[in-house]
Amino acid sequence: MKKLVFHQGDVQGRQISELPKNLKKVKNQPVAYGEHSGHQHCLTGDVELFMAEDGTFFAAVGSDGATMQHVHENYFKESDWVSTKELPIADHKPLHLPSGIYEIYIQNSYNPYSRLMERVLD
């Protein structure tokens, strides 16, 4: 089986075989926020979120699947967390994730001026 890799703006993810140890289960929350826009990347549907000590998110997606949404915070309701319906798009199209375990992280890019790897800003 080929492992799914996805990219939505500055958020990236990859399918992994199992959840790492020592994760903390967290309540539904955006996995990334736009720095100035009020936009947020949210994973909705049949999903449980976990977080590592370094802030990396992990998701266990159930048999009904999940949707990675990019939506403005004003258009997101509490009831949207459990639905895979597509919400009004902020900038990036929704991504549908099948059942599985995923690691979700923010893209890094090399800055030749600072000579450092830096977080990509959305």
Q: In the chain, where are the structural domains located?
A: 5-119
Average pLDDT of span 22-30: 94
Q: What digits encode the pLDDT tens for the residues 77-88? A: 888 889 888 877
Distance CA 20, CA 38 (A): 31
Give the Cβ contact number of residue 96 at 10 Å: 12
- Look at residue 14 in the predicted model and tell me its pLDDT: 93
Q: What digits encode the pLDDT tens for the residues 69-115? A: 988 888 888 888 898 888 777 677 899 999 999 999 886 554 566 66
